[in-house]
Amino acid sequence: MFNSAHLSMEQKQNQSFNPKKNKDRNVIELEKGRIPPQAIEFEEAIIGAILIDNSAINQVIDILNPESFYKDEHKLIFGAIKHLFGESQPVDILTVANHLRKNGELEAVGNEYKLIQLSQRVSSSAHSEFHARVIVQKHIQREMIGLAGRIINQAFDETTDVFELLDQAEQELFEVAHGNIVKNYESAKDLIKEAIQKIEEISHKEGLSGVPSGFTMVDRVTAGWQPSDLVILAARPGMGKTAFVLSMARNIAVDHKTPVAVFSLEMSSVQLITRLISSETELSSEKLRKGNLTDSEWQELLTKVKTLENAPLFIDDTPALSVFDLRAKCRRLVAQHGVSLIIIDYLQLMTVGGQSKGGGNREQEISTISRSLKSIAKELNVPVIALSQLSRAVETRGGDKRPLLSDLRESGAIEQDADIVSFIYRPEYYDMTEWADGTPCDGQAEFIIAKHRNGGLDNVRLRFKNTLAKFADLETNEDYGPVMVESKMNTSSFLDDEGPYDEDPF
């Protein structure tokens, strides 16, 4: 006889406790936990709809992959359907059966009888897209269960690097969220179709194919900063690296309403936003620091700063930011806010973090950081612009001190990994009065594109007004010579406040 005295306190408190009912519930939960999420009926409905109506393929072909299906025979059948669709062949019971027969897979799916069975389960292709979404959801659930299992196993392994495990887990989860978990490789045929489609889209698109910089001639050479590109902007201290990228960030976020993320390892976020306020209002940084503003200047400040308030600009001033933390933050910014450009100021102040523990020298660390930045750009499909210091070799050269690729500090990997390597050069900084061609260089700067993996090289001259540290387009008229034309975008900013890093910090 069942003795209630043997019940635990928790069981006694449950007045509806029933041993038999509780046992049945445990069995159900156990079975539920062991059987992966699936939607067999929806899988059969999708395949059946495609076999009786080819229009159903167009609704689901971009949603489903063979791996999305739970049953192996359904994977094989949908794989045959996708192949026939890619070859522009008709899709029906006969063509699918013939393709499976050629591949020796017909018997594995249950022969023609199975295909006939599937086609008889549905009467129309209505709601095919909805059915496909359900199948994808179940597939994602299965992938998350598998991912969780792998994480648990590795977390119990004492030899596992916890930071690498966290990074790997976040990357795989990011891939699941973006539907890329089953994307292993693509055929040349598929890639050519995708490339041609992209070219067609660009041909019908007004303006630039990439993210604009706000400088006419720079954008003409680059067509805007392209997705997945790593752009290195290098210069000696005081040339205006931070000023240049901060101007671009303002132009992109304010004028084009395109989300931008700035990671400042040197200056605080308040200092950066103060620069942007000064640029937007054309009030000197000294006045803003001291607060010596007239009533009219206060009014102007409060009015013009509203454009910045609503700009999709995100600033992170974490010092000594590691590659691991940067990747995690960038993923979240892209996923949550649609960030289209990432700026890092600057590369030499970054750390490797959990990916390395005290092993290599500084050159190896910079190489790791450089490769990681390129990996982030490719993974998130956004351009990454990283500022970099130049070595002192520039200062020791006589005559023309224009920077060279060999002047990049500490690692040749920076040059190797970057899609674009650019420099900022102001001859006026070295007390020079004219360019090599004999034209005056007063108040001018040069944006040098020294490496361009997917385009041409060029030296773009920009107007630079020293009192305001203001960059503007410099256009050349053959009849009247060089003239200053203010960019349609407000590119005013201030020079790098390198502080203690005026000399090489490493």
DSSP code for 429: G
Query: How many other β-carbons are positioned within 10 Å of the β-carbon of residue 496?
Result: 27
DSSP 8-state secondary structure symbol assigned to residue 376: H
Tokens of 284: 């000197």
Measured CA to CA, the distance from residue 498 to residue 504 in angstroms comes to: 10
Q: Is 459 helix (H, G, I), strand (E, B) or coil?
A: strand
Helix (H, G, I), strand (E, B) or coil at 289: helix
Residue 175 designated active-site: no
* Beta bridge partner(s), residue 390: 408
> What b/e string do you get for 450-487 counting C-beta neighbours within 10 Å, with b at 16 or more?
bebeeeeebebbbbbeeebbbbbbbeeeeeeeeeeeeb
| Ramachandran quadrant class, 358 (left: phi over 0; alpha: psi -120 to 50; beta: rest) | left
3-state DSSP percent of the chain in helix, strand and coil, to 5: 50, 15, 35
Instruction: Please work out, in degrees rounded to the nearest 5, the angle formed at the alpha carbon of residue 183 by the alpha carbons of 179 and 187.
Output: 135
- Residue 164 in tokens: 């690498």
Check the CA dihedral 321-323-328-332 and report its sign: positive
Give CA separation, 119 vs 62, 89, 116, in Å: 22, 19, 5
Contact 352, 363 (CB under 8 A): no
Which alpha helices (H) appear in 181-237, and where do they start and end? 188-204, 216-222
- Residue from 266, 365, 379, 410 carrying the catalytic annotation: 266
Residues classed as catalytic:
266
